[in-house]
Structure 1
């Protein structure tokens, strides 16, 4: 017996209600499944916008844009769909596209303060980007690092935090700095600048792909995204051991954004890099970029705690972060994943001129290293994020065999248990920010 139209609508609403409940519990993947059930039963524009919101929460911005556009196709007047598309485009750094939708939203809902705030924020970013592009066109413009005079910075007598002695960042200083951060206190701006400048110099001298050896009679720990969750980040060291001559660490990008203590996380990592330059390795993630930092909080945090100049120095340093590491000639570690074309070699990665690129382009090897994700199906698929590519187990196998590697380790995706093994054991995702949602 065929269900009536009313019965189908009731079932669709039940699936939608179940999805709403799952969303409130922050079970976004399960909510998507229920919204999909509702859509398959009775495609309604609001179901699409609700599912788009789930995709945004999971950073699947490409899927979110597709759902928002499906909603607009059904109901061109649905303002929420414009808002969802704008939010996804802002996350992807497509601020001009986002601005168009936000203008529509504000026109239709002039009393919506959140929409007005987002419109103003987006408009400012668009103007700032245009201004910065004009400045960058002048090749004679000095780096922000060249304009800093650390010697002229005075540490006031009233400062009661740890001091860097003889211009040397040592383990004692880092330990005291971490203790100070636990009390939610800052270190002096001079010392923060000194740490960043020291790491910037090291990173600019490093290749885009770094070969890593496990310490003799020691170990190497690979960590994924920590996203400014300072106390969880420090717990990694408390449980697993702090960096040392026999215990190396590789942090695989996305140190900042989202969490409230991104500055404390990155200064701790940078300081340990100064103390153990051959035992602490840092890779660039998709959140070590200007667009992400504008949207997800790091830029605002640095400006609030220190200054715009310091954020610009961080940005300049992030541009120099390596893109990949190879452990013992057998394990490739990158933040995102593999590529949209076959035949890529480790030498191709080594040849990437990341210092010339500065901010990652929207396509190509550098972009895909930071943004791509694995998929269970063979072959390649369109990225759920709207940038990068999705790659299957056959793609992983072929890449590893071509480059005489055994495994790919990557991060970039939330995993409930902190890690997941895919692609017949050849692809491991590591994510190190617990209670992320």
Structure 2
């Protein structure tokens, strides 16, 4: 019991690796198949879950169920793991099994309803153009259905409604029709004055996201730009407002607006940190101001499967109330974020995405990849989107050049497998995020050949002591400048 109490305390503090070690010690002490073991396995599964190690989390949850087939929490954990790893049908099965054990659990019923709603969302998909026009307040002859409010209740003790009357930021209806200087001041002021409570009023948010969504909806999931310009490449920010401000100390907004430079963000704006909503709103403003020079890609956390579990949804509930439809609106917008950008200069070619290279499909050229027909509504069985959002490079020899990922989705690939892919596709470099980097620059040359880079921009991510960084890439020459984000 003493070990359990200490492990639980470490879990509450967010020290998940230590919690895992303590739960493992408790499991070793107990006799095999002891029902208390089921609790420790399930708790360890939860710690793995919080670290995004869904493969190990699943193994532990399955062991807990095997030891105690009546253990409700283990079925609940399995359902959450399946949801996060895009196995929605399987998740529903585990929720139903949990429901049989508990009987009339309101919490389980709510989750079953929410998951069923998500699974049926494609069938009931609103015309995105009309949806975003409706958000902006543009009249339409046809009825435009607002997204349904999820039946799932608030996470924690958050209010059903929030008084927004004191919020002061004003977003113009037509950002692109305003002078660039005014757009710049809007973005600068938002970055300077935003606080935990002082965010966009929901009506202003609707207008901004309506325009933002319209712009994104005109971009293919896999797209290309031709440019010899310089690019700032930003990795995962994960709700860290401090790091966002550090980034734009390095990127002077006024100079950026008057230059030909461009910005690429590799996804994972939300979750983990406390200010994911502030960050996506800021980048939405930049995109609306300069749609051809600001490129925002989707991360695996810009999906309802993950952002309902790792912090974004509770943040929205606390800001706008649990009865608002802001979460549904934001996930509609996230759905429009592209998955891959190819930057083609006169002499070089660069691929940008969040997770990993699409190695499983046998592509022979970038053009073939770009012309692949994939849906922005992520299909659980689509291997291309799964790899682009979830895969990682290997950091140790595993005796194979491709294997299943510890994340439970996607793959791990070797340097040799990547080099064959890059040579065949005539790709000079790739830039991706997705993994915390412990190099002192926040940038990692994954295979040591200057062709495969991981960029992670959130410092001290989950209290791990890392330093964030961004890259400045000269597309014409291939020069890579690593820019470290000094801690404030």
**TM over 0.5: same fold?**
yes
Aligned partner of 1:82 in structure 2 is 75
Question: What is the CA RMSD across the aligned residues, in angstroms?
Answer: 3.9
Aligned partner of 2:459 in structure 1 is 434
Partner SS, residue 325 of structure 1: strand
How much does 1:226 deviate? 1.3
Match status 1:236 vs 2:261: no
Match status 1:262 vs 2:276: yes
Match of 2:232 among 221, 224, 234: 221
The structure, 1 or 2, with the larger RCO (C-alpha pairs under 8 Å, 6+ apart) is 2
Q: Deviations over 1:14-72 (max 9, x none)?
A: 99999889767755457667877998999775564454233212212133112322343
Q: How does 1:100-249 map to 2 (within 5 A)?
A: 100-102=93-95, 118-129=107-118, 132-136=121-125, 143-148=130-135, 150=137, 160-162=168-170, 164=172, 167=175, 168=177, 170-182=183-195, 184-207=197-220, 208-211=222-225, 213=227, 215=229, 219-242=230-253, 243-244=256-257, 245-249=259-263
Aligned partner of 1:422 in structure 2 is 446
Q: In structure 2, do the counterparts of structure 1 residues 316 and 389 end up closer, same or farther at CA, with 3 Å as the change threshold?
A: same
Q: Deviations over 1:341-386 (max 9, x none)?
A: 25323223312445x4423433321221111122233411112222
| Structure 1 gaps, min length 5 | 1-12
How much does 1:413 deviate? 2.1
> C-alpha separation between the residues in 2 aligned to 1:141 and 1:249?
26
> C-alpha separation between the residues in 2 aligned to 1:185 and 1:369?
34
How much does 1:431 deviate? 2.0
How much does 1:270 deviate? 1.0
How much does 1:432 deviate? 1.9
| Structure 2 gaps, min length 5 | 140-163, 463-488
| 8 A Cα contact 1:337 1:370, kept in partner | yes
> C-alpha separation between the residues in 2 aligned to 1:141 and 1:382?
35
Partner SS, residue 213 of structure 2: helix
Q: In structure 2, do the counterparts of structure 1 residues 128 and 374 end up closer, same or farther at CA, with 3 Å as the change threshold?
A: same
How much does 1:225 deviate? 1.4
The alignment of Structure 1 onto Structure 2 pairs a total of residues equal to 412
Q: How does 1:22-33 map to 2 (within 5 A)?
A: 26=14, 28=16
Partner SS, residue 124 of structure 2: helix
Q: In structure 2, do the counterparts of structure 1 residues 395 and 180 end up closer, same or farther at CA, with 3 Å as the change threshold?
A: same
| 8 A Cα contact 1:99 1:123, kept in partner | yes
> C-alpha separation between the residues in 1 aligned to 2:107 and 2:436?
26
| TM-score, normalization by structure 1 | 0.78
Greater helix fraction, Structure 1 or Structure 2: 1
Match status 1:318 vs 2:328: no
Match status 1:275 vs 2:289: yes
| 8 A Cα contact 1:339 1:391, kept in partner | no
Q: In structure 2, do the counterparts of structure 1 residues 289 and 26 end up closer, same or farther at CA, with 3 Å as the change threshold?
A: closer
Q: How does 1:389-404 map to 2 (within 5 A)?
A: 389-404=411-426
Match status 1:291 vs 2:305: yes
> C-alpha separation between the residues in 1 aligned to 2:231 and 2:46?
38
| 8 A Cα contact 1:396 1:423, kept in partner | no
> C-alpha separation between the residues in 2 aligned to 1:286 and 1:157?
34
Match status 1:349 vs 2:357: no
Match status 1:331 vs 2:339: no
> C-alpha separation between the residues in 2 aligned to 1:196 and 1:315?
11
How much does 1:151 deviate? 5.8
Q: Deviations over 1:281-310 (max 9, x none)?
A: 111111222322333343454465458555
Q: How does 1:45-60 map to 2 (within 5 A)?
A: 45-46=37-38, 48-60=41-53
Aligned partner of 2:475 in structure 1 is none
| TM-score, normalization by structure 2 | 0.71
